[in-house]
Amino acid sequence: MDRAFASKFAKMFFFTVVCLIILMYIGSRFFTHIDLALYGYMVGTVVFIGGFFYRFIAWAERPPTKVIIKKGLRLLFRRSTPQTTVEHLATYKFIWNRGIYRWTQHILLGWGCVLACLVTFPLVFGWMYFTMENNGTYTVVGFGIDIMRVKADGWIAFLFYNALNITAFMVIAGVCMALYRRIKNMQARAEQTFVYDFLPLYLLLFISITGLMLTGSNMFLHGWGHPVITLIHQWSVIITLIYLPFGKLAHIPFRPVSVLARNYREHYGEKEMKACKVCSTGFVSVEQSNDVIEVLKQSGVEFKMDEGFHLAELCLPCRRKYRMSRFAGVPTHEIKVKEANQNAKG
């Protein structure tokens, strides 16, 4: 079977698209509930999948990533995995430690985008649709199965109608918070670039505003300008989907891998710790230290020191002092006194 494809990327992309078409066939009741007005989103999604696999495979083939994925998958059924998954993918607890402002910003952006996708993609691929009955109720259909009936003027139907509007307001608020921080925070201003840091935010902002304009056109302008706004909004979504795997927004679909990395660190951190070759302080697990040395070796990088051990076998303070010694010619890494700020936070 492998000989039928030019590469691993080609094989994975082919089978993913085939599975997607099969799910569309089943979910839309044999393609009878495909909305052709959403055809552009469908094409953009397929291109996004191709770009995602290309980027992910290129990233996953790197030696460090291979180690994390391989060993992280073995530890997937740790008792702490559900809690780690919730903290990394739902509550963003790891960002809470950086401050409530950044946490709120990420919650609005992250969940705004995720909820919008959970609404948009099932509609685009025909996995979910609504049928209207004569008694003033909607039937919500998912994968050809009647899931629930809601009153057309009820609050549940109202949430269905305005789900994308709600997520648009969430994304706009999150983007505005992110832009404000990037403009006012001196550290962020020194590190950011327009293409990598600002462009993704502007794309999300443009998508959200044009999406709200569609609702405004229907509610207040009796549909005036709706066809033009529809095309502008659709093209903005398609361009963002194509760009997404190759820019900063790629960390959204890559985020689940952080659960594997957390399991890896926690599992081996509970075992034997690596003692620093200079100060004898335990600073990392033996497994992680050995993996770092092996990965560097695979990459053709050797950090053997004159004393006979590897630079990765030093804790961070001793490692910094060793680098200083290479410039100053003074064996500062052998000084037993610790740095005054080595336990400083921030």
- Partners of 129 in the β-ladder: 141
**Sign of the torsion angle spanned by Cα atoms 207, 213, 218, 222:** negative
pLDDT tens track for 295-317 = 888 877 777 777 777 888 888 88
What does the alpha-carbon distance between residue 36 and residue 125 come to, in Å, rounded to a whole number? 10
pLDDT tens track for 175-193 = 999 999 988 887 777 788 8
CATH fold group of domain 2-260:
Fumarate Reductase Cytochrome B subunit (1.20.950)
Helices 81-89 & 257-269, crossing angle to 10 degrees?
130
Average pLDDT score over the chain: 85
What does the alpha-carbon distance between residue 66 and residue 240 come to, in Å, rounded to a whole number? 28
SS (H, E, C) 81-109: HHHHHHHHHCCCHHHHCCCHHHHHHHHHH
- Partners of 275 in the β-ladder: 282
End-to-end CA gap in the chain: 51
The domain ranges of the chain are 2-260, 272-334
- Partners of 274 in the β-ladder: 284
117-121, 201-205, 284-288, 318-322: lowest mean pLDDT where? Answer: 318-322
Nearest Cα neighbor of 172 from 243, 247, 116, 234 is 116
Region of residue 29 (left: phi > 0; alpha: psi -120 to 50; beta: else): left
Residue 244 has pLDDT above 80, yes or no: yes
What does the alpha-carbon distance between residue 9 and residue 240 come to, in Å, rounded to a whole number? 22
